[in-house]
Amino acid sequence: AQSVTQLGSHVSVSEGALVLLRCNYSSSVPPYLFWYVQYPNQGLQLLLKYTTGATLVKGINGFEAEFKKSETSFHLTKPSAHMSDAAEYFCAVSDGSQGNLIFGKGTKLSVKP
Q: Which is nearer to another protein, 34 or 81 (CB)?
A: 34
Compute the distance between CA of residue 72 and CA of residue 75 in angstroms, rounded to an integer.
Answer: 10
Would strands 107-112 and 87-95 be described as parallel, antiparallel, or unpaired? antiparallel
Compute the distance between CA of residue 43 and CA of residue 82 in angstroms, rounded to an integer.
Answer: 20
Check: CB of residue 53 under 8 Å from CB of residue 33. no
Q: Which one of residues 5, 7, 17, 49 is an interface residue with another protein (CB under 8 A)?
A: 49
Minimum distance from residue 10 beta carbon to another protein (Å): 10
String of contacts with another protein for each residue 63-102, x by CB under 8 A:
---------------------------x---xxxxxxxx-
- Interacting residue ranges for another protein, rule: CB under 8 A: 32, 34, 36, 41-46, 49, 51-52, 90, 94-101, 103-106
